[in-house]
Amino acid sequence: MREVAEYAGVSTATVSLVVNGKAGDAGITEATQQAVYNAIEKLQYTPNRMASAVVTGRSRMVGVVSALSRELFDTQFGSRVLSGFVRGARERGYHFVFLEDITRNSEDHVRVLQDAREMCLEGLILLIDVGRDEKVFDVGKWLSTSIPVVSVQFTFDPEGAPGFRVNHQNAVEECIDHFVRRGHEQIGFGARHIDLRSRSTVAVIERALARRGLSFDPGCVFEVPRWDRIGSFVDAYLKKRPSAMIILYDGEAVRAVTALREAGIQVPRDLSVIGYGDSPLCTDFAPALSTYRPPLEEIGRDAIQYLIRCVEDGTAPRRDEVRDMTGQLVLRQSTGSAPGH
Amino acid sequence: MREVAEYAGVSTATVSLVVNGKAGDAGITEATQQAVYNAIEKLQYTPNRMASAVVTGRSRMVGVVSALSRELFDTQFGSRVLSGFVRGARERGYHFVFLEDITRNSEDHVRVLQDAREMCLEGLILLIDVGRDEKVFDVGKWLSTSIPVVSVQFTFDPEGAPGFRVNHQNAVEECIDHFVRRGHEQIGFGARHIDLRSRSTVAVIERALARRGLSFDPGCVFEVPRWDRIGSFVDAYLKKRPSAMIILYDGEAVRAVTALREAGIQVPRDLSVIGYGDSPLCTDFAPALSTYRPPLEEIGRDAIQYLIRCVEDGTAPRRDEVRDMTGQLVLRQSTGSAPGH
DNA sequence: CTGTTAGCGCCTTCAC
DNA sequence: GTGAAGGCGCTAACAG
């Protein structure tokens, strides 16, 4: 920097102002600015972020903290969100680093904060993927007293934590809308486990149906287990035989369709199925699986940019606000009209 | 730090030595060290990496540069490698950041170098996933003149760039071994596109077969296109009817098995299939897909730790060396004995 | 064995 | 409008 200043015939202070785009405020001549830019060009000068971080306390870096990194990398969900982070950060000239996995043991969160301070991170993205783990929320709250934190939840849970997440309402509405238009009246729901999360989804389905004057049969909530126990699903299905189903997630949808086919149920002739996730397997499978595509890249991008904006404006991210992002229903071969419609 | 020094009754230099684990070399009393640790504890002191990076030039951060980030995040391959990076870096107290995608336009590589210098990155991981792009190799070579670079290639290409990659030789041997033991003699190969990469795989298969006194029928190289053109694959298969196939990747294997079933070929009764990737869909599909599981986490972890070791030892990473990592054949339901064996 | 000193590269008042 | 000076938090020689 000193060399640049000398080459341009100005002082290092001037160079600093120009490099940081504060030349205008400081009222520096156009000519002087040009001279500085020329010098930078000639000398191949690259400013040192570390040095400026030392004095300003600003590193232009944020951290990503996850609640369960195995899922983060094993499902395509996590990696798509990551992809959004990369884009979002890049667009604003920021970078991000991974910190500890909060849930490995009970002291990880202090490590996170320590790392964040060591590296002068300006904010944290908290990736919530295990649903309703009270501990994760508490850690988030605790972290957010020392550093800006924005939460991202990328699994499907209508009653999950506030923060950036998919618009579950919309997802359900889109599916029901499509089914009803095609004449389906008895609509089922399937998931790997029937837990609190599934139950809230069922509640949303129920309300969507009610708004259309249809009712939901509680018997149409199906557990779609692994292959070794898939028989229980088939049996349960055959008792009710709904003509349409929403299944969480695509993998479960594939297993359900396959198992049902062996029992003589044809998709989409006898049953229409919409999965969730839009994973690559949707198009490898036959019939190609209709699915709801969650806006994961968008969530990642918007979340990190919101965080950055808060950091730059000096405002604390709102911890209580729900940011629902709308995805898209992707219709393929596994959906059709209700039998006899 | 000054406060810590005062509290402990020593100088900042002593604190620095203790914090950086150089207390031993400098011969600092146990008692003094304890005093420093106590002070650190009491004052909740966190060292500032940025500041030390300024003076040492060492940031304990490396960068990850990819050749095609879309693939990085769309396939489970990329995200598993990333997971390895996270672990590998963490184990050594390092962090990593994402830089530009080299291939977006022709000037991205200078941006990469600029970012690396701005952030005092100590090394670069070059993710090669598009196979044999001369440009990527050149960029890698160019980068490595200014900064340590180690390459990671995570697609399947026996003749790809040197660096960390899966042991293709082993992958093929394992499959062939298994097939031969089960009495298969005519073994085929399938892939989405029959290009240079596939051809080198075929060559490896050919040699493995030759070593066992078997020959490879060039007519048994099959293109497994998307659904709209899958008929061509089925036709080609029916002409040769090999009893076993290696298919790149799992998605293609699923399409192949499904299409063939519609043509009356049963897996594994008439045909044994081994895919590649061990993606989640292997166990969602029926029959559950046998596959070769590439050691992606291991590759990521080893690659970044090799890079870090080079950085710390001050040695340049070898650009020409092949680091083949061995994966594992995962046998499930899509493989069986040769018909009549 | 430990403290003193002199920077690392940069930013930011303040006079001029 | 611009430069000089001081300091950010830390490390590395060297002196004692």
- The answer, yes or no, to whether residue A178 has pLDDT greater than 90, is yes
Report pLDDT for A24.
80
Look at the block and give the residue holding tokens 């693939």. Answer: B71
User: What HEC string does A311-339 produce?
Assistant: HHHCCCCCCCCEEEECCEEECCCCCCCCC
- The answer, yes or no, to whether residue A327 has pLDDT greater than 90, is yes
Report pLDDT for B155.
82
Nearest to B98 among A70, A86, A286 (CB): A86
CB-based contact B49 A82, cutoff 8 Å: no
Report pLDDT for B161.
84
Convert the pLDDT of each residue in B116-126 to its tens digit. Answer: 999 999 999 99
Helices (runs of H) and strands (runs of E) counted in chain B: 15, 12
Q: Which helix (H) or strand (E) holds B101?
A: strand B95-101
> Beta strands of A105-241 (E only): which ranges?
124-128, 149-153, 163-166, 187-191, 221-223
Q: How confident is the model at residue A154 (pLDDT cuts 50, 70, 90)?
A: confident
- A96 interfacial to chain B (CB closer than 8 Å): yes
Q: What does the pLDDT average to over B187-205?
A: 95
- The answer, yes or no, to whether residue B167 has pLDDT greater than 90, is yes
CA of B37 to C1' of C10 (A): 30
Beta bridge partners of A62: A96
The reply to whether B55 has its C-beta less than 7 Å from any atom of strand D is yes
| Mean of the per-residue pLDDT values of chain A | 93
CB-based contact B48 A118, cutoff 8 Å: yes
Angle at B79 between CA A138 and CA A96, to 5 degrees: 55
Q: In whole angstroms, what is the distance from residue B334 CA to residue A158 CA? A: 38
Report pLDDT for A297.
94
The reply to whether A54 has its C-beta less than 7 Å from any atom of strand C is yes
Look at the block and give the residue holding tokens 């909060």. Answer: A102
| A95 φ/ψ angles, rounded to the nearest 5 degrees | -130, 165
Query: Do residues A299 and A81 make contact, with C-beta atoms less than 8 angstroms apart?
Result: yes
Nearest to A76 among B76, B117, B288 (CB): B76
Convert the pLDDT of each residue in A229-280 to its tens digit. Answer: 999 999 999 999 999 999 999 999 999 999 999 999 999 999 999 999 999 9
- Contacting residues for B259 by C-beta, under 8 A, at least 6 apart: A286, B227, B230, B231, B233, B234
Convert the pLDDT of each residue in A43-100 to its tens digit. Answer: 999 999 999 999 999 999 999 998 876 667 777 788 889 999 999 999 999 999 999 8
B204: tokens are 């490896």
Q: What is the pTM of this model?
A: 0.94
A308: tokens are 């950055």
The reply to whether A183 has its C-beta less than 7 Å from any atom of strand C is no
Q: What does the pLDDT average to over A287-311?
A: 97
Beta strand A290-293 with B290-293 is unpaired
Report pLDDT for A131.
61
Closest CA to A85 of A102, A72, A75, A74: A72
Q: How confident is the model at residue B131 (pLDDT cuts 50, 70, 90)?
A: low
Nearest to B281 among A73, A100, A281 (CB): A281
Q: Which helix (H) or strand (E) holds A143?
A: helix A134-143
Query: Do residues A62 and A94 make contact, with C-beta atoms less than 8 angstroms apart?
Result: yes
Q: What does the pLDDT average to over A298-320?
A: 96
- Which chain A residues are Cβ-neighbours of B263 within 8 angstroms? none
- Contacting residues for B31 by C-beta, under 8 A, at least 6 apart: none
Report pLDDT for A317.
96
Report pLDDT for A130.
66
The reply to whether B13 has its C-beta less than 7 Å from any atom of strand D is yes
| A130 φ/ψ angles, rounded to the nearest 5 degrees | -100, 15
Edge-first strand order for the sheet with B290-293 is B221-223, B187-191, B244-248, B272-276, B290-293, B328-330
Cβ atoms < 10 Å from Cβ of A207: 14
What Cα–Cα distance (Å) separates residue B255 from each residue in A149, A230, A247, B27, B102?
A: 43, 22, 22, 67, 32
Q: In whole angstroms, what is the distance from residue A296 CA to residue B73 CA? A: 11
Beta strand A290-293 with A328-330 is antiparallel
Q: What does the pLDDT average to over B34-52?
A: 93
| A124 φ/ψ angles, rounded to the nearest 5 degrees | -135, 140
Look at the block and give the residue holding tokens 């070059």. Answer: B126
How far does the CA of residue B115 sit from the closest CA of chain A (Å)?
9
The reply to whether A9 has its C-beta less than 7 Å from any atom of strand D is yes
Q: How confident is the model at residue B217 (pLDDT cuts 50, 70, 90)?
A: very high
- A119 interfacial to chain B (CB closer than 8 Å): yes
Q: What does the pLDDT average to over A34-47?
A: 92
B105: tokens are 């336009």
- Contacting residues for B95 by C-beta, under 8 A, at least 6 apart: A97, A98, A115, A119, B60, B61, B62, B89
Q: What does the pLDDT average to over A141-151?
A: 95
Between the CA atoms of B52, B57, B58 and B64, what dihedral angle is there, to the nearest 10 degrees? Answer: 130
Q: In whole angstroms, what is the distance from residue B46 CA to residue B26 CA? A: 22
Q: In whole angstroms, what is the distance from residue B177 CA to residue B246 CA? A: 12
Q: In whole angstroms, what is the distance from residue A260 CA to residue A233 CA? A: 9
**How many residues belong to chain B?**
341
A5: tokens are 């200043």
Interface of A with B in 33-72 (CB under 8 A): 46-51, 53-54, 59, 61, 69-70, 72
CB-based contact B251 A74, cutoff 8 Å: no
- B249 interfacial to chain A (CB closer than 8 Å): no
- Contacting residues for A33 by C-beta, under 8 A, at least 6 apart: A18, A23
Longest dimension (CA), chain B: 86
Between the CA atoms of B37, B40, B41 and B46, what dihedral angle is there, to the nearest 10 degrees? Answer: -130
Q: How confident is the model at residue A38 (pLDDT cuts 50, 70, 90)?
A: very high
Q: What is the CA radius of gyration of chain A?
A: 26
Closest CA to B97 of A94, A152, A178: A94
Q: Is the dihedral of CA A192, A197, A202, A205 positive or negative?
A: negative
Give the residue nearest to nucleotide D3 (CA to C1'): A11
Convert the pLDDT of each residue in B85-118 to its tens digit. Answer: 999 999 999 999 999 888 777 788 899 999 999 9
Closest CA to B139 of B163, B186, B169, B106: B106
| B127 φ/ψ angles, rounded to the nearest 5 degrees | -90, 115
Chain B 238-297, CB < 7 Å to strand D? none
A31: tokens are 């000519």
